[in-house]
Each structure stands twice: as C-alpha cells, then as structure tokens.
Amino acid sequence: MNNTTSSNAEENNNEMVVTPWEVKGKVDYERLIKEFGTQPLTPQLLERVEKHTDKLHLQLERKIFFSHRDLDTVLDLYDKGTKFVLYTGRGPSGPVHIGHLVPWIFTLHIQQKFNTRLYFQITDDEKYLISDNADLKNTAKWSYENALDLIALGFKPQDTFIIYDTQDIDLLYDITLEVAKRITYSTARSTFGFQDSTNIGWIYWPAIQAAPCFIHKKLTGENVPALIPAAIDQDPYWRVTRDIAQKLGYYKPAQIHCRFLPGLGAGGKMSASMPETSIFTIDPPDVVKKKIWNAFTGGKGTAAEQRKTGADPTVCSIFQYYFFLFEEDTAKLAERERKCRGGEMLCGECKKDIAEKLNGFLKAHQERREKAKDVIDQYHIKR
Ligand code: TRP
C-alpha cells in the first residue's frame, strides 16, 4: 500500500513508514506531529490532566504519550460537566505482546481517574480483509485470546464494553453507513493509499473503525465525545472520522497518541510478525529469557572494551523496556543509565534483571488471564 509518510522507500531501508498497517524504519515522532497535523502534549496541558489524576502517569511524564487532538476540548467539556468515553481497540492477528499493553495500561489509568466507560473494538474483520492468509476461524480465536489480555489488566465489566466486529456488526452497521456515505473514495484513497488492486472490503472498512467513536449516543442517548488513546499509526482513521463527525451531530473524536515500544531487534517497533523480537504475554519464562538474551543492546564487542568506554542506552532495546514499563522509579532509571554509559554495568546484568522483572510480571498476568476466562462474557457489549 501507499502511505503518507514515506517517499522513495527503496533509497533507504531505514526510511520511516507509519500507516495503520505498517510501521518500519526509525520513527521520527516530531515529524509525525507535523505530517499528521496533530498537536504536541504541552506542559500546560499535562498540568491540566494532572489536576484530575493526582500524579501524572508515568507514560505522560516520560512522553510515551506525546501528541493529541482535542484533548484540551475534552478537558474543557469535562470541567463543565460533560463526560467523555474512552475508545481503543485491537486487531486480533495473533498473540498480544508487551508493546500492546502499553496504551491499554494507560487507558485503564484514565478510566479510573475520570470514571468513564471504555469501548474496546476487536477488529477480526479488518485482520481478515487485509491479510492474505487470515481466515475467520483464526481471527475469532485470537479475538478471544486478546480479550483475555485486556481483562487481565484489571478493567471492570461495569464500564468496559468489548465489541467483536463480526459478532456485533448489527450494533455498528447503521453508524458505519452514516460515516461511509460522507467519505469519498478520493479522500479514502489519499488518506489510506488505496490502490486499484485493494479489495473493496478494505475500502469500506475505515467506516467500521469509526463507528465506536459514536456508539455511546446510540446506546445511552448521551452525546459525549470519545477520547482515543492509541499508538499514532491509527491516526489516519481519526482524520477522516473527525472531518465528518459534526455533520452527523456528534463531537469530533479526540485522540491521545503514544509511541511504539521498540522490538528486541535493532530498530523498528515490536511486531508480532517477528516473534523472536517480541515478548508475548503467553510466553513461558525460558522463552522470555532466551529472547532477552538474544536482544539487541547498545553494548560493545567485548566486556573489556565496554568497561572502558561504556555502552549506549539510546539504541538499546532492553533499556527501552525499563523506560516504557519496568522501571517506574525515575531516579533508579537514571542510575541504570549512568552505570551503562560509564561501563559499570554490563549488558548481561541488565538482561538478567529485565528477564526477572518480565517473568514476574508475566506470571501474575498469566494467572489473571486464566481467571478472565470465567468472566469474559460479562464484558461483551450488550444490546
Ligand atoms: N486497527 C487497530 C489494529 O489493527 C484496531 C483498532 C480498532 C483500534 N479500533 C481502534 C486501535 C481504536 C486503537 C484505537 O490494531
């Protein structure tokens, strides 16, 4: 597919490509803010969020969430008594990896602090349409498996509504029609890079990702904005949805965008299509250890050299794990960075620590995931 952020991809294979279906190369987040036309999260805006959340969430403090559209408007409305709903989702193409959990953990935090509903869309239809080898049985299996991961994070059934697209399309269908009627093929083609060879299911599909932005009104009669926490690759969907929302009598959906957790290889986001560089939530401890052991770091060729000249945490995939999730104490993170740069702590030690932390986290997550099997039905959106 074409895309809006790459030109001449052959020239340089580290060239950035960021579309809803493909992320590769070195991602330049400042450039994405400009090219996508989003807003950076300013200190003033973060201060406003902090007023509602006691303490700024780690992911905001560390700029893992770094960009937005209309978060200010959503907060203005909230302060005047109009709530918002949260909306995010997952394409069930395979097991969930740690990178997927990052925005979900943040979503839970916002849900708890603002006391809002979450609509969570599982897009088995999308994955079926865009992938040559997906079949609907398989996507249904992963829909179930991926929902367990969401529930395991601690979402509560009273205010968490999972939409499984192929099962729940009746709920979405009229909204998708309202949306689809107002987006021209020309807009869709230039936004998503559709080609003559693109199947027509895929061309309609963006209307289905737009629908949950507006479903709250249909279900409850309340017209409130949706706030979407998600990685920035999903932004094209919201661009087209925002353009038509007001014509349909809805608020424009607002977004808060996060970065991608890098994979364990050199560069690139964690991607389920490269299993050796992704930690899946269902990985057993020995697999985790092995993947971590083979991970790309900023280390040097020999221990002696590294003790002398230090290593480079900025390119290290392991350091990113501490940064994104596993070292919440910022002073301790700085200490780890200092020891790494100074050659005091070698990669082996750092890897051993992270494997332990990861396996501790996964053990608890996997237990909660098992328990989720008994309650998963309670989360399924009701008519
Ligand atoms: N298209 C997303 C994916 O492939 C799934 C998704 C649907 C989603 N609705 C969303 C993601 C809303 C974020 C926010 O993963």
Considering only residues 216 and 2, tell me which one the structure prediction assigns the higher pLDDT. Answer: 216
pLDDT at 263: 84
Helix (H) or strand (E) holding 120: strand 118-122
What is the residue with the minimal CA distance to atom 6 of ligand 1?
Answer: 89
Q: Which two tokens stand for residue 14?
A: 């580290």
Mean per-residue pLDDT of the chain? 94
Taking alpha carbons only, the member of 70, 38, 19 closest to residue 246 is 70
User: With 90 as the cut, is the pLDDT of residue 299 above it?
Assistant: yes
Whether 11 shows a pLDDT value over 60: the answer reads no
Domains and CATH numbers, the chain: 21-260 (3.40.50.620), 275-372 (1.10.240.10)
Mean pLDDT within 135-160: 97
The ligand 1 atom at the shortest distance from the C-alpha of residue 103 is 13
Averaged over 122-133, what is the pLDDT?
Answer: 95
What pLDDT does 24 receive? 86
Residue 132: exposure state from Cβ atoms within 10 A (0-12, 13-18, ≥19): exposed
Nearest CA to ligand 1 atom 8: 89
Query: Which of the four pLDDT bands, split at 50, 70 and 90, describes residue 271?
Result: confident
Whether residue 75 is predicted with pLDDT greater than 50 in this model: the reply is: yes
pLDDT above 70 covers a percentage of the chain that reads 95
pLDDT at position 1, please?
Answer: 55
pLDDT reading at 325 higher than 50: yes
**CB-count exposure of residue 150 (10 Å: 0-12, 13-18, 19+):** buried
Ligand 1 lined by 89 (C-beta under 6 Å)? yes
Q: What is the pLDDT of residue 42?
A: 97
Residue 209 CB–ligand 1 contact under 6 Å: yes
Determine the distance separating the centroid of ligand 1 and the alpha carbon of 345, expressed in angstroms: 39
pLDDT at 5: 52
pLDDT of residue 4: 47
User: In angstroms, rounded to a whole number, what is the distance separating the alpha carbons of residues 126 and 207?
Assistant: 11
Q: Provide the pairing of β-strand 118-122 with 160-164.
A: parallel
Which residues fall within 8 angstroms of residue 124, CB to CB, at 6 or more apart?
A: 92, 136, 139, 140, 142, 143, 164, 165, 166
8 Å CB contact between 132 and 100: no
- What is residue 268's predicted lDDT score, i.e. its pLDDT? 66
Which of 202-211, 273-282, 302-311 is the least confident region?
273-282
Q: How far is the CA of 315 from the centre of ligand 1 (A)?
A: 28
H or E element that contains 23 = strand 22-24
Q: Is 310 in the pocket of ligand 1 (CB under 6 A)?
A: no
Query: What pLDDT, on a 0 to 100 scale, did the predictor assign at position 7?
Result: 45
Structure confidence by residue, pLDDT tens digits, 78-89: 999 999 999 999
Probe residue for ligand 1, chosen from 18, 23, 87, 90 as the CB with the greatest number of ligand atoms within 8 Å: 90
Has residue 3 got a pLDDT over 60? Answer: no
- 291 CB under 6 A from ligand 1? no
Protein residue with least CA distance to atom 12, ligand 1: 88
Residue keyed to tokens 């599982």 = 122
Confirm or reject: Cβ of 239 under 6 Å from ligand 1: no
The 10 Å CB-count burial string (b at 16+, else e) for 66-82 is bbbbbbebbbebbeeee
Give the mean model confidence (pLDDT) for residues 162-177. 98
Q: Whose CA is nearest to atom 4 of ligand 1?
A: 91
pLDDT above 90 covers a percentage of the chain that reads: 89
Q: How confident is the model at residue 12 (pLDDT cuts 50, 70, 90)?
A: low
Q: How far apart are CA 28 and CA 30, in angstroms?
A: 6
121 C-alpha to center of ligand 1: Å?
7
Mean pLDDT throughout 2-18? Answer: 60
318, pLDDT greater than 70: yes
Spatial distance between the Cα atoms of 229 and 367, rounded to a whole number of angstroms:
26
User: What is the pLDDT, as a whole number, of residue 276?
Assistant: 85
64 confidence band (pLDDT: 50, 70, 90)? very high
Alpha helices in the chain (DSSP H): 29-36, 43-53, 58-61, 71-79, 98-114, 124-130, 136-152, 165-181, 185-192, 200-204, 206-210, 215-220, 235-245, 285-293, 303-309, 317-321, 330-341, 347-375
pLDDT-based confidence at 266, cuts 50/70/90?
Answer: confident
Can you tell me the mean pLDDT for 143-150? 98
Q: How far is the CA of 26 from the centre of ligand 1 (A)?
A: 22
Q: Give the pLDDT score at 359.
A: 98
State which of 87, 88, 163 you would mutate to test the pocket of ligand 1, scoring each by most atoms of that ligand within 8 A of its C-beta.
Answer: 88
- The whole-angstrom separation of Cα 362 and Cα 370 is 12
Q: What is the pLDDT of residue 265?
A: 82
Q: What is the DSSP letter of 10?
A: G
- As a whole number of angstroms, the distance between CA 238 and CA 233 comes to 10
- Please identify, by atom number, the ligand 1 atom nearest to the C-alpha of residue 228: 14
- pLDDT (tens digit, 9 = 90+) per residue, 332-347? 999 999 999 999 999 9
* DSSP result, 211-242: GGGTHHHHHHS----EEEEEEGGGHHHHHHHH
Single pTM value for the model: 0.94
DSSP character at residue 63: T
What pLDDT digit, counting tens, does each position of 344-379 carry? Answer: 999 999 999 999 999 999 999 999 999 999 999 999
